[in-house]
Chains A and B, each alone.
Chain A
Amino acid sequence: MLTIPETSWLVVLPTLIVVGTGLLILLVDLWSEGPDRDGLGWLGIAGLVVTGIASVALWNTHEVSFSGGMAVDRFALFFNLLFCLGGILALLMSMNYLENTDIRVGDYYSLTVFSISGMVMMAAATDLIVFFLALEVMSIAIYALSGIWRRQLRANEAALKYFISGAFATGFLLFGIALIYGATGATDFATVQEKLAAAPPELRGMATAGMALLLVGFGFKVAAVPFHFWAPDVYEGAPTSITALMAVGVKAAAFASFARVFTDALGPLMPEWREVVAALALLTMVVGNFLAVLQQNIKRMLAYSSIAHAGYLMVGLVAVNDGGGAAVLFYLLAYTLMNLGAFAVVIAVGRRGQPNEQIDDYAGLGFRYPGLGAAMSIFMLSLAGFPPLVGFAGKLYIFSAAVHAGYVKLAVLGVLSSVVSVYYYLGVLAKMYMAEGTTLLDSPSSRPYLFACLLIAAAGTVLVGVFPSSAYELARQSFAALG
């Protein structure tokens, strides 16, 4: 008779809540009509809050189930909290952003929540196939979301480019998974690791080939140089709230599985991948930061900045066993707060039919809208890595881990490249405070959700920056769950 594998509801609980929220939004959308649809956004936020509460409640659970397919552990739960935070902020800013577009809100919110469900599954996946399908759930939702503003030619184009590059990356990821399956006969991380540790040279060679292809696939997903070319176009063309979700959620999810796959399943291949990832990290930091300097459009500038940040995060992965893992988790938290904040400012500066996305449009905003100026200053300084903001603490942890692991040159070059980044981040502030401009904005009181979002992000950026140790301790505990 058939033996049904053990199933644990706890393992899939966060996923189920998020997917259920998405379904609920779809159903409610079906039966609710009228222009005021903020309710659907609130529904999404409520679902994410419940997911967050469930994740906190599960904090001490450590369980793998579904034939080794999915796990609930602190690593997954940390990312759940991160995705909930990022998702809530993204939904908050969407609620005001959508007023200025003709996007159908029901589709938008349900797809957003479904993409978050994919992220949640990615962080918890302990099987290459589960990971791959979770990635596809997330990606397909984001493909559709980036083209959801159909009247916008730029959004069409962004969707097309994101789709083609994403599908291309899918091919590489899958071929890598197939070769690893061929080398080990398994797809769950535990067995793969076990088999690889004792693999004869020809199987190790095949797994190395698979690892290289996986690396290409991940490179596309996190927009690492030289697989980054799609990112600026897509970031610029997609609706800004989706760009924010892409820059933060997709990247965090990709790094969650990057860390999980490469340290857990492919841990025995670390000698093979370490130097390659280090080289990619260096290239990504340098190219990202230098190209960002040239940008006139704020969304493109943030795209290149997010490429550079992917480079910093990869430095953390190189030093994964010397505190780099925890540093990556902490940095992702920092990045979520400050980057979402920056995108919220971009949305706040835009008006209906007048996106105001050129950096020149920011001229003089600092004096005329002091609150917005202060918020933008916090985010830009934090992204540039000024103390005592959270970006500084994040960089400190990452580069000290790299030094600790013996990658001193990499750390030095990373710090130098981030000095370049100061130039373009401060360039925005210089424009805001030192130039005269005429850009008019909608009053903040008419956009309460955006205001709340800015407030949360700014407070987080400052508070976690000033008191980083407890957040770092959380990240450390979470990463410890992996090994």
Chain B
Amino acid sequence: MSLGVFVVLALFILGSALGVILARNPVRSAMCLVMTLFFLAVLYLFLDAHMVGTLQVIVYTGAIMVLFLFVIMLLNLQTDPEESSATTTLSAAGGLCALFVGLLMYLVGNVENVPEPARDGFGSIQSVAEALFLRLMLPFEITSVLMLVAIIGAVVLAKRKIQ
């Protein structure tokens, strides 16, 4: 990917991310987050991560964010009048971005670590699956416990009837 495309995408990503934290209305925040996730998915495609990019759309935008919107709508959240001011948020964002990026630049230094051209089949479903089911077999199995716990927890907390 050329530097120009990267810069444009990066601006889109950061712009919509700023939208998430600056928007007054939760639904607008959520939609900005959806856009951020979508642009990130595009960036993943440029990084030869086709599978990850697609799953980003399926899982993040297609399921997790819909859940967010569902809850926002279910609770009918509106613009909060007592919300902190946009300038506070914006200056905090500027400060923290400068802090994190500056710190990293200081620690890492200006290294032009350009990656080599990707091998054939890199980022394909097969290669990712092999990594997931062989090298990362144990973490993969742990996620089953994790999801079970999350399901129990969510049901316990949100179900309507209490004995």
Contacts and interface: CB of A to CB of B under 8 A. Distances in A.
> Is there any pair of Cβ atoms, one from A and one from B, under 8 angstroms apart in the complex?
yes
Interface of A: 2-5, 7, 12, 19, 26, 66-67, 69-70, 102, 104, 107, 110-111, 114-115, 117-118, 121, 127, 129-130, 133-134, 136-137, 140-141, 143-144, 147-148, 150-151, 159, 201-202, 205-206, 208-209
A133 B156 contact: no
A143 B146 CA distance: 13
24 contacts: A2-B130, A5-B137, A26-B152, A66-B137, A67-B137, A69-B138, A69-B139, A102-B162, A110-B152, A127-B138, A127-B139, A129-B139, A130-B142, A134-B142, A137-B142, A137-B145, A140-B150, A141-B149, A144-B152, A144-B154, A151-B162, A202-B109, A205-B107, A206-B104
Contact of B157 (A66, A70, A150): A150
A201 B108 CA distance: 8
Contacts of A110: 152
A206 B157 contact: no
B156 A107 contact: yes
Interface in B118-151: 130, 134-139, 142-143, 145-146, 148-150
B163 interface: yes
B37 to A, nearest CB: 16
A111 B153 contact: yes
Contact of A137 (B106, B138, B149, B157): B149
Given A107-B152, A115-B149, 14 more contacts: A12-B138, A66-B137, A69-B136, A102-B163, A110-B152, A111-B153, A114-B148, A127-B139, A129-B136, A144-B156, A147-B157, A159-B157, A205-B107, A209-B104
B96 interface: no
B131 to A, nearest CB: 10
Contacts of A151: 162
A70 to B, nearest CB: 6
Contacts of B58: none
A206 B149 contact: no
Choose among B130, B139, B154 the residue with the greatest number of A CB atoms under 10 Å from its CB: B139
A69 B148 CA distance: 21
B67 to A, nearest CB: 15
B103 interface: yes
A257 to B, nearest CB: 14
Interface residues of B, number: 28
B1 interface: no
A121 B149 CA distance: 15
Chain B binding surface, main DSSP class: helix
B8 interface: no
B108 A206 contact: yes
A111 B156 contact: yes
Nearest to B146: A137
Contacts of A69: 136-139
Interface of B: 103-104, 106-109, 111, 130, 134-139, 142-143, 145-146, 148-150, 152-154, 156-157, 162-163
B138 A130 contact: yes
Nearest to A12: B138
Contacts of B139: 69, 127, 129-130, 133
A117 B135 contact: no
A4 B111 contact: no
A12 B145 CA distance: 13
Nearest to B136: A129
A206 B110 CA distance: 12
B135 A67 contact: yes
Given A104-B163, A205-B108, A114 B138 contact: no
A456 to B, nearest CB: 28
B142 A5 contact: no
Contacts of B149: 111, 114-115, 118, 137, 140-141, 144
A28 to B, nearest CB: 14
Contacts of B130: 2
A104 B152 CA distance: 12
Contacts of A102: 162-163
Contacts of A141: 149, 153
Contacts of B108: 202, 205-206, 209
Contacts of B162: 102, 104, 150-151
B109 A66 contact: no
Contacts of B135: 5, 67
Given A67-B135, A130-B139, A205-B107, A114 B145 contact: yes
B134 A2 contact: yes
Contacts of A159: 157
A324 B159 CA distance: 47
Nearest to A142: B153
B163 A209 contact: no
Contacts of B146: 133, 136-137, 140
Nearest to A115: B149
Contacts of A150: 157, 162
Contact of B109 (A70, A137, A205): A205
A148 B156 contact: yes
Contact of A133 (B109, B142, B153, B163): B142
Nearest to B156: A107
A111 B155 CA distance: 12
B107 A209 contact: yes
B45 to A, nearest CB: 20
A202 B111 contact: yes
B138 A144 contact: no
A16 B14 CA distance: 43
A219 to B, nearest CB: 17
Contacts of A147: 157
B153 A140 contact: yes
A411 to B, nearest CB: 31
